[in-house]
Amino acid sequence: MTSVAEIEAEGGEALAIKADSADPQALQRAVTETVCRFGHLDILVNNAVILLRGTVDAFSLADFDRMYAVDVRAVFAAVQAAVGHMGAGGRIITLGSVTADRSGFPGASAYSMTKAVVAALTRGLARDLGSRGITVNTVQPGPTETDMNMDENIRALLRPMPALGRLGKDSEIASLIAYLASPEASFVIGAALTIDGGYFS
């Protein structure tokens, strides 16, 4: 992860804020603090996610509520907090998952549901905000080397699934996010862009 010091060493400005994504008030404070520091807000990337697995007969409602709070409600709350500070050219990008379209393994039903909701929310927000020149999109990665799947046994299971025969890299996902945040993506809106190495091929 790039640190504030590294960004500042390159001549940029950065601010790190610790906030609980499941707490709407914390998200509001983070947005307010950011705007106070920089004067405006151009880009919102919703990247917080938790993945809890379990078949429907074993998955507790407490875990359901916890995952929904971070993976869905936090997205809505963050957008709600941010849009008042965004003008034309604003960008909202949310990390989804290919599981929005297809659950690749048992025990992923609740997680898949949250990602399908994110995709539907993205389409609706695009209609709400497009007339203001704000684009809203979601990026749907396939199996990727992240802290969520550190277990090598799980990685070995996932690795052969994409057509490319490997897991994605976080830098590859970040490149697509950077494109959506750029002026070149000004006509991309309401899209769920899959980046999965051929997971669905």
CATH number for position 184: 3.40.50.720
Query: End-to-end CA distance of the chain, in Å?
Result: 31
Query: Domain for residue 4, yes or no?
Result: no
Query: Domain for residue 123, yes or no?
Result: yes
Query: Domain for residue 13, yes or no?
Result: no
Query: Domain for residue 157, yes or no?
Result: yes
Query: Domain for residue 152, yes or no?
Result: yes
Cα–Cα distance for residue pair 179/197, rounded to 1 Å: 18
Q: Which residue has the higher pLDDT, 151 or 180?
A: 180
Residue 98 pLDDT > 70, yes or no? yes
Q: Which of 3-17, 64-78, 125-139 has the lowest mean pLDDT?
A: 3-17
Phi, psi angle pair for 91, to nearest 5°: -130, 130
Query: Domain for residue 68, yes or no?
Result: yes
Average pLDDT of the chain is 91
106-115, 143-152, 160-169: which has the highest mean pLDDT? 106-115
Give residue-wise pLDDT tens across range 34-44.
999 999 999 99
Supply the DSSP string of 109-128, one letter for each residue.
HHHHHHHHHHHHHHHHHHHH
Alpha helices in 43-135 (DSSP H): 61-68, 74-82, 109-129
179 part of the active site: no
Rounded to whole angstroms, the maximal C-alpha distance in the chain is: 53
In which domain, by residue range, is 86 found? 40-195
Query: Domain for residue 144, yes or no?
Result: yes
Query: Domain for residue 12, yes or no?
Result: no
Number of independent structural domains in the chain: 1
